[in-house]
Every structure is written in structure tokens, then in C-alpha cells.
């Protein structure tokens, strides 16, 4: 059997749901899912209950992670209408600032639609003028909101990271923005690369998330413009089956455990090179978010194994996947984190505390504890 060795992947967009949503996922179950998917660092989003918008909520997440996480975890701080100064003061402990410009799950949309005109803009000006210029501002900004975020980043000379680009028009905008010199990076999700609105019709609520699955032409545009895509990130957003099958299903799908096999399948099919996979899911995330290398950390993969994705094998608490039944090629055999085997042949061997809360260094400076860049 040939073994392919890759660095531990970095997923810059996950929702671990702790605090407030532990019945969907918590720091331990979510980081178990990460390891089972070959991800040894995750950056966790702030749309919790309560949301992470200040030093006490950020500090309590970091403390919880130190005791419970199985892989390394960095934390975003969330933008509200009134917290620009406090958020900026936390930039040294946060993965980045997260701004929700559009309606989605959670309490953090920056503009309350019932607020007076100009209210949301004033909040955005506060954040874009106060957040440190060398740390990323990540945005949930679809369609026209994306153009607004890019315009603000240009106006204030800020570093923008656009989450989950899903449309042909959006990837065209990012290409043009990059060409014009904007400091903008972007991510796409596996679900927008491998599923379309036809799958949403088939899957019902299990195929619903924000941004929604798009047309086959949009999906093709993401593949055709992969050269402008910086990262692949899962937007792992677990909700229980009961919630998804209820009257008002929340948007979001899990993705940590299915990203690597899907991408390895694309490599086997010649749609992606192995070097590009490593760039998208390891090197670019490190560069954009200023993350130190994890010493003695790697993945061992059987690139020839063929199987079907299924919920039986999952470690995420939500216990389902929108990719159920999809045929893939490439199976993760072993994950080594800092010299310790933390996952092997379907079994988690890490203990709570194997993972660490991380403090990213400013890009360009030497990251703290930087070791070798892995294999």
C-alpha cells in the first residue's frame, strides 16, 4: 500500500457551538470530528449563545478549549454595533474579527434591519477604522454585501478575508479586487464545490445553509477560478437532525470529516493537484492568519482506498452529512499531532487537552513556537 503524507490541515471556518449549543457540538466532539477529517487546527466562529464579542466571552472559550479540545483551536471575536474598540483590543488573542453583514444563524448580524438608516454603516466604519490593519477581518457578506466589504477594506487599508464564496459573480468580483491591489483573500467550502441547488431539492433542510447551494454554473465557476481561491474551509455548522427536520430548520451543514476525502477524490480525478490541496488547506491558512507550524504533525493517507461517505463513521455530535452515499477515493489512516498518534483507523486516540488554544502571530512576524513546517 502506498502512503501519502500531508501536513495536518487547517480549517479557518468552523462552528464548535460551545457555549450555548453543546447539544449540536462541543469543543471535544467538534475537535474529534476535525481530527477524523485530518484537520489539526480549527478557527472557531463567534456566533455562540452568548456571542464572543468581548474579553470575558473570549477568555472563557480559551479556558474551555485548554481543557477540552483535541486539536488546536483559534477563536474569532464577533463584531457588534457597539464593540469596535473592545474587539480591536482583543486582536492579539483572536484569530480575526468576524463581521456578519447578512442574515444567517446566530445573534451577530451587524445591521438590525429595523434600526434607523445609517446605523449599520456607522458600526462598519467603527470596525474597519479601528481593527488593526495587519490582522484579518473575516466577513459573511453575500452578493452586494461582499462589494461593500471589499470597498470598506480598500478605503481603510484593512486585510479582508471573504468567507464561503459561492457565486460566479462573487468570484469574478474577488478576481477583480485582487487584480486592483485590494488586500483580500477568500475561501470556498466543499459543499459549494461538490453540491448544487439540485442537491438541495433532493436533501431538503439537510442541504440548506447560508450561502445557499447555487447553480451548476456557479459551481463550475468556482472550479474554473480556483486560482483566485486562497483557502478551502468547511463552514462546519452542525445542527441536530431533529432541528433540521423541524418546522424552522436552522441553516448549516457539518463538513469537517468529509472535506479531505472529497478533495483527495478531486486529486485522484485530476481536478486538483496535491500541491494545490496543501496550499488551499494548510499553507494559505497559515499565511493569512499568521499561524505557527505544529511541530511533528502530519497525516498518513491511503490514496487508493475507495469507499462511500456515510453518517455511521462520523464523530460530529450531529451525526449526519449532506454527502451521505457519495463515492470517494482516499482514506485518512493516521493523524500525528506533536508526535502523538491522535487518530488511527477510524478511532480517536487523543485526550481532552491534546489540543491547545492558539494565539496567532501577526503575519510577517515570526509566529511563536514556530517549528518545522511539517513533512
Question: For binding to ligand DOR (CB under 6 A), which residues are involved?
Answer: 15, 47, 104-106, 140, 209-210, 237, 250-252
CB of 235 to Zn ion, least distance (A): 4
300 beta partners:
5, 334
Task: Residue 259: name the closest of 226, 234, 296 by CA.
Answer: 234
Given ligand DOR, Zn ion, none, residue 106, with its beta carbon under 5 to 8 Å by kind, binds ligand DOR
Given ligand DOR, Zn ion, none, residue 29, with its beta carbon under 5 to 8 Å by kind, binds none
CB of 15 to ligand DOR, least distance (A): 4
- Residue among 65 and 237 whose Cβ is closer to ligand DOR: 237
How far is it, in rounded angstroms, from Cα 357 to Cα 72? 6
- Residue among 44 and 300 whose Cβ is closer to Zn ion: 44
235 binds Zn ion (CB under 5 A): yes
CB of 254 to ligand DOR, least distance (A): 10
300 binds Zn ion (CB under 5 A): no
Q: Tell whether the torsion through CA atoms of 114, 124, 166 and 316 is positive or negative.
A: negative
- Residue among 254 and 285 whose Cβ is closer to ligand DOR: 254
- Residue among 17 and 140 whose Cβ is closer to Zn ion: 140
Site string (92-121) toward Zn ion, x via CB under 5 A? ------------------------------
- Residue among 141 and 272 whose Cβ is closer to Zn ion: 141
CB of 165 to Zn ion, least distance (A): 11
Q: Which of 17, 24, 135, 140 binds Zn ion (CB under 5 A)?
A: 140
- Residue among 210 and 334 whose Cβ is closer to ligand DOR: 210
Task: Residue 13: name the closest of 132, 139, 171, 112 by CA.
Answer: 139
18 binds Zn ion (CB under 5 A): no
How far is it, in rounded angstroms, from Cα 167 to Cα 182? 20
CB of 189 to Zn ion, least distance (A): 9
CB of 17 to ligand DOR, least distance (A): 8
Amino acid at each position: 500500500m502506498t502512503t501519502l503524507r500531508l501536513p495536518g490541515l487547517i480549517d479557518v471556518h468552523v462552528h464548535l457551538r460551545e457555549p450555548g449549543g453543546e447539544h449540536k457540538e462541543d469543543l471535544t466532539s467538534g475537535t474529534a470530528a476535525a481530527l477524523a477529517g485530518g484537520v489539526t487546527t480549527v478557527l472557531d466562529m463567534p456566533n455562540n449563545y452568548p456571542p464572543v464579542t468581548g474579553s470575558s466571552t473570549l477568555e472563557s472559550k480559551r479556558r474551555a478549549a485548554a481543557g477540552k479540545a483535541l486539536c488546536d483551536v483559534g477563536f474569532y471575536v464577533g463584531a457588534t454595533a457597539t464593540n469596535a474598540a473592545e474587539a480591536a483590543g482583543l486582536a492579539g488573542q483572536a484569530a480575526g474579527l468576524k463581521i456578519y453583514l447578512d442574515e444567517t444563524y446566530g445573534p451577530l448580524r451587524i445591521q438590525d434591519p429595523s434600526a434607523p438608516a445609517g446605523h449599520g454603516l456607522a458600526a462598519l466604519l467603527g470596525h474597519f477604522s479601528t481593527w488593526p490593519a495587519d490582522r484579518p477581518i473575516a466577513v459573511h457578506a453575500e452578493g452586494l454585501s461582499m462589494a461593500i466589504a471589499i470597498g470598506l477594506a480598500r478605503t481603510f487599508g484593512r486585510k479582508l478575508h471573504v468567507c464561503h464564496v459561492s457565486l460566479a459573480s462573487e468570484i469574478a468580483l474577488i478576481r477583480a479586487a485582487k487584480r486592483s491591489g485590494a488586500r483580500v483573500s477568500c475561501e470556498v467550502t466543499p459543499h459549494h464545490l461538490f453540491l448544487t441547488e439540485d442537491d438541495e431539492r433532493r436533501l431538503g433542510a439537510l442541504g440548506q445553509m447560508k450561502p445557499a447551494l447555487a447553480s451548476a454554473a456557479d459551481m463550475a465557476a468556482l472550479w474554473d477560478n480556483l486560482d483566485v481561491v486562497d483557502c478551502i474551509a468547511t463552514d462546519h455548522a452542525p445542527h441536530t437532525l431533529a432541528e433540521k427536520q423541524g418546522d424552522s430548520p436552522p441553516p448549516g451543514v457539518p463538513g469537517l470529516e468529509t472535506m479531505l476525502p472529497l478533495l483527495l477524490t478531486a486529486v485522484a480525478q485530476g481536478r486538483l493537484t496535491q500541491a494545490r490541496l496543501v496550499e488551499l488547506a494548510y499553507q494559505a491558512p497559515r499565511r493569512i492568519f499568521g499561524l505557527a507550524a505544529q511541530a511533528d504533525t502530519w497525516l498518513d493517507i491511503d490514496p487508493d482506498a475507495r469507499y462511500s461517505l456515510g453518517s455511521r463513521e462520523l464523530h460530529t455530535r450531529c451525526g449526519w452529512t449532506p454527502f451521505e452515499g457519495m463515492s470517494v477515493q482516499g482514506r485518512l489512516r493516521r493523524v500525528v499531532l506533536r508526535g502523538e498518534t491522535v487518530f488511527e483507523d477510524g478511532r480517536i486516540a487523543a485526550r481532552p487537552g491534546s489540543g491547545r488554544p492558539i494565539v496567532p502571530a501577526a503575519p510577517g512576524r515570526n509566529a511563536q513556537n514556530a517549528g518545522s513546517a511539517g513533512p
